[in-house]
Amino acid sequence: MSINIKVRGYHLDIYRHVNNGRYLEFLEEGRWDYFDRHRFIPLFESLQLAFVVANININYRRPAYVDEVIQVQTRLQRIGQKSGQMLQQVWLLNEAGETDALIADATITFCLMDDATQRAVQIQGELRSILETMLEEGL
C-alpha cells in the first residue's frame, strides 16, 4: 500500500532538505493510510486494542527537497506472539509518477495494547488470521 506526499517548505530544515524528524511523520501518515484501507481502526476499537509503536529503525538514503513528490510504501513484514514488524519505504517519484530513488526505509516494531490493562497482548484469533493472510499476500 502506498500514499503520495508532496514535499512542502515547512518540511524542510535549515539545510533546505526534509528534516530527519519529518520522516517519522511521513511514515505515520503511511501507517494511518494502511490502517484505513484495511479497516483496522474499527477492528482495533471493537477488540479494545491500540496499535503501539515499540521501535523504529530508519535508514536515510537520499535527501528530499521542496516540490518533490515522495511515495510512502507500507507492508506487514512479520507477526510474532506479542509483536510484529512493518516495513516502510519512502521513494522519490519521477515526473511519470514512477518510483525513482529510495529516500529512506524503516522497520517498525509494534505491539497491540489492551486499552484496559495498558499491556501488550497476544496476537491471536480473528486478528491474527487477518494479519497472517495479509503477510502471505505481501500486503
What distance lies between CA 62 and its chain's CA centroid?
19
Catalytic (active site) residue 13:
yes
- Of the candidates 13, 36, 114, 115, the residue annotated as catalytic is 13
Backbone angles phi, psi at 133, to 5 degrees: -65, -45
Grid look-up 497491540 returns: 112
Q: Is residue 61 within 8 Å of residue 83, measured between CB atoms?
A: no
Which positions are annotated as active-site residues? 13
